[in-house]
Amino acid sequence: MTTATKAKRKARANAPATTRYRSDGLIRGPLVNDTLQALQGWDLETSKRANLDQLRQNNSIGAPTQAWLKKVCGALNTRFDPLENDRGLLLAARNATGQRHWKPLLLWHLANTDRLLGDGLRWSAQVYSDGGDLLQTQQALAWIESTGSQGHPEVAEWSEATRKRVAGGLLKAGVDFGLLQGRVKRRFTAYYLADEPLLYVLLQALASNRTTAAALSDPRWLWFRLPEAELEHRLLLLHQAQVISYYRAGSVVDMKLPASSAEALVQEVWT
């Protein structure tokens, strides 16, 4: 074996594995209201398993059938870790401001868990940026099928019916989160991320990036159709309103926010 071959194999071994796409997330849908109701009744002192067992027994979300209740419990189990990474979302579910801005908060946490949803939202943002007015299922289906040659061979293993359901689920998720509207033709809305969830997402992005500049250029902002230049404009407006302190000179960013973390924002600033 040559030195070059050894180096290539070592590079592949050290490369981060691509997260496999799962079809069940988009087929189930975001479950916006069910998730809110479930997390409002979540017991912070017990485990996720105990909370889900309690939810199955009491049906506190008012699920119309046992099948629907099972679907919601299954989604909660795979999507969230309420006592760790998703604790901020859990706290927001019990807070008036968090409830008012529930959809973008849920979008952030859900897309961080479901790679296919996150990538699909970034793709739709690119369609919008390129001047697109609407999205159709065939467009979403073509994009999903194209990912098979972009590090996601598992997509080719899905049946055609599954791929169509996933494509429809992606557009339905866009409607549920307010990014799209319409039933037959899904048109882009004039989406606007309010200041409160913007600061929440910013604190989350800061916590998961090494530098402030990296947090501002994080591609996950495109889930909200918020490119970096527009984000910086929004931050300048918040600076002028004395909500935050924000200065930037090239790659050097000096920023002071009203809270030290997303959890602190919910607990100490929001009412």
pLDDT-based confidence at 9, cuts 50/70/90?
very low
Class of domain 195-269: mainly alpha
Taking 70 as the threshold, does the pLDDT of residue 1 lie above it? no
The mean of the pLDDT values for the chain is: 92
Residue 248: closest CA among 264, 228, 265, 219 = 228
Model confidence, pTM: 0.91
Q: Which two tokens stand for residue 29?
A: 């849908």
Going from N- to C-terminal start, the domains of the chain cover 115-188, 195-269
Strand 186-188, strand 134-135: pairing:
antiparallel
Residue found under tokens 């600076």: 239
Task: Report residue 11's pLDDT band, with 50, 70 and 90 as the boundaries.
Answer: very low
Provide CB contacts within 8 A for 64, sequence distance 6+: none
- For residue 102 the two structure tokens come to 């529930």
What are the DSSP E strand ranges found in 92-138? 134-135
Which among 197, 176, 179 is positioned nearest to 89, based on CA atoms?
A: 197
Mark 250-271 as b/e (b = at least 16 C-beta within 10 Å). eeebebebebebbbebbeeebe
Q: What is the pLDDT of residues 95-127, one digit of tens each?
A: 999 999 999 999 999 999 999 999 999 999 999
- The answer to whether the CB of 258 falls within 8 A of the CB of 245 is no
SS3 of residue 180 by DSSP: strand
Q: Please write the tens of the pLDDT for every residue from 44-103.
A: 999 999 999 999 999 999 999 999 999 999 999 999 999 889 999 999 999 999 999 999
